[in-house]
């Protein structure tokens, strides 16, 4: 007789208070609005170096980064709206009425948002690093060309 072991999945759910979820939401909103402002700055930065970026040496890389930047701008706006709506829903947690199903649903949505916002911010940081690296390279090349002339 063959013995089979049954795998059990352990789920860990942190209990988040309404205050903690509110603090998380405010922090996300702050980070997302800052990212939105930075993206506007990055677009201006790209415009300032357009001629250098369309140089054949940098064109493919800069096109990919600029396309990602445009997608990220839309994602930022969508995520800001999602977080705003989520914040409005917080009242179900603090209204004094025991609506366990709604409260549980809100907590699950909050847990998903933790992951979504975290993933977004990580993608954003990576893109920012790529953009700065590209622009830094373009600036250094421009300085070298001027020195050689």
Q: Each residue of 72-92: pLDDT tens digit?
A: 999 999 999 999 999 998 888
The per-residue pLDDT for range 97-125, each reduced to its tens digit, is: 888 898 889 999 999 999 999 999 999 99
Question: Helix (H, G, I), strand (E, B), or coil: what is residue 99?
Answer: coil
- What are 9-26's pLDDT values in tens digits? 434 455 788 899 999 999
Domain boundary assignment for the chain: 18-148
What is the C-alpha separation between 73 and 46, in angstroms, rounded? 14
Q: For residue 1, is pLDDT > 70?
A: no
Among residues 4, 9, 39, 31, which one has the least CA distance to residue 114?
Answer: 31
How many residues in total does the chain contain? 149
Q: If you write DSSP's letter for every residue of 48-108 in order, what string do you get?
A: HTHHHHTSTTTHHHHHHHHHHHHHHHHHHHHHHHHHHHHHHTTHHHHSS---HHHHHHHHH
């Amino acid at each position: 007789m063959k013995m089979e072991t049954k795998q059990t999945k352990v789920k860990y759910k942190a209990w988040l208070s309404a205050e903690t979820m509110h603090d998380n939401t405010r922090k996300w909103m702050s980070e997302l609005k800052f990212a939105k402002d930075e993206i506007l700055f990055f677009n201006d930065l790209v415009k300032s170096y357009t001629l250098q970026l369309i140089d054949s040496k940098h064109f493919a890389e800069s096109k990919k980064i600029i396309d990602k930047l445009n997608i990220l701008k839309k994602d930022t706006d969508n995520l800001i709206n999602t977080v705003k709506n989520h914040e409005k829903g917080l009242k179900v947690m603090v209204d004094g009425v025991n609506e366990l199903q709604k409260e549980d649903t809100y907590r699950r949505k909050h847990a998903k948002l933790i992951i979504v916002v975290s993933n977004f911010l990580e993608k954003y940081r990576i893109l920012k690093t790529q953009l700065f690296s590209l622009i830094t390279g373009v600036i250094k090349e421009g300085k070298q060309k001027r020195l050689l002339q």
